[in-house]
Amino acid sequence: MIPKLRGHHLICLHFFKGEGYSEEFIKNIYNVLKNQKMKVADGADDICTKCPNLVEGKCASREYSDEDIRAQDTEALRLLELEPGMVVGWQNIAEMLPPILDEWRARFCNECKYSKVCFG
């Protein structure tokens, strides 16, 4: 089975270091990342299934609204030139990151509580 990943996870998970989350959530992320291909999801994905902030299929985080998360997804897909339903190789996404990373970081990483985990 090809795992489904939403837009911002296609970018952010390239910097995942196994910190800042519950053990169950981390284990789920590593299981998803074992796959070489991902299917682009529209909304909650296979990472979100183990997130305690997922309520009725939407992000209920105190830090980010579902609308904020969906805006990140939309921008990630625009930058990566991907659409929901597409299947893409994890390595292909990694190769797409260098030209878009400065724009992504400026727009989303500065306010993200995991930025120090991702970028030191």
pLDDT > 90? residue 35: yes
- Residue (of 75, 53, 64, 46) closest to 114 by Cα position: 64
Domains contained in the chain, number: 1
- Structure confidence at residue 55 (pLDDT): 87
- Taking residues 97-115, what's their average pLDDT? 90
Chain segment 3-33, per-residue pLDDT in tens = 999 999 999 999 888 876 788 989 999 999 9
- Residue (of 96, 89, 92, 97) closest to 2 by Cα position: 89
Chain segment 42-84, per-residue pLDDT in tens = 999 999 998 888 888 888 887 778 899 999 999 999 999 999 9
Gap between the Cα atoms of 58 and 14, Å rounded: 23
- Structure confidence at residue 2 (pLDDT): 95
- Structure confidence at residue 65 (pLDDT): 83
- Structure confidence at residue 17 (pLDDT): 85
- Taking residues 88-103, what's their average pLDDT? 95
Gap between the Cα atoms of 90 and 111, Å rounded: 26
Domain span at 19: 4-119
The whole-model pTM stands at 0.91
- Taking residues 85-89, what's their average pLDDT? 97
Dihedral, 114, 116, 119, 120 alpha carbons, nearest 10: -150
